[in-house]
Amino acid sequence: MEEKILHTTKRCPFCANEIHLEAIKCQYCNEFLDGRIRVEQFSNVQPIWQLIILSILTCGLYDIYWFYRNWKHFKVHHKLNISPTWRTVGLLIPLVGLVQTHRQLKYIRHLAKEAGIEKSFSPRMILISLMIFDLLSLLPVPYWFLSLFSVWPLTVVQRVLNSYWEKEQHGIPSRTKLSKWEIAIVMMGGIIFILGLIGTFLP
């Protein structure tokens, strides 16, 4: 018996990404393909306070996810043929990481400009700030904690991104609450963070 290997994927009618033939929910845009209406739909806007809390409480690890998240949003929204996962892996490689970071920042500024967003930023300055905050993490206790401010340059970019998504996804509500796993991170990170502070500043 010959196996049919053709047509194992289909094109999502909502975002045009290739998905599994039997999929009833698109893995890229989360639309249901069986006619069901998606109950919750949120825009890609991220409140600045969420970004700050998640970044500080994960000691900056969230920043890596932040870049992944942006690539994923761009892939879905602009039907880009990119791998957000591999680009994120690239972030962890010296020099490649800098190039990838700069590339995303430039892309965001380009998108915002094209969309007529007045707010902007200098990708180079953001990159330099991120590098400086990274270096601060090498400082001895308790000065390394200055590196936690690495989220600050990202908030500058997020403000521009938020204006962009508000315009692009007009009418779609933005997520105001943290998701379940984000709450888990905040709680775990909060405990570790407080213990860390106690350990650092108490004799």
Residue (76 or 105) nearer to Zn ion, CB:
76
The alpha carbon torsion through 46, 49, 51, 56 (nearest 10 deg) reads: -170
Smallest gap from Cβ 17 to Zn ion, in A, equals 5
**Residue 14 or 65: which CB sits closer to Zn ion?**
14
Of 33 and 156, which CB lies nearer to Zn ion in the complex structure? Answer: 33
Q: Please, what is the minimum distance in Å from the beta carbon of residue 26 to Zn ion? A: 3
Which residue(s) pair with 18 in the sheet? 11
Residue closer to Zn ion by CB (options 14, 144) is 14
- Binding footprint of Zn ion on the chain (CB under 5 A): 12, 14-15, 26, 28-29
Distance CA 122, CA 137 (A): 23
Q: Which residues contact 158 (CB under 8 A, 6 or more apart)?
A: 46, 48, 51
Q: Where are the beta strands (DSSP E) in the chain?
A: 9-11, 18-20
Distance CA 8, CA 21 (A): 5
The contacts of residue 195 (CB under 8 Å, 6+ apart) are none
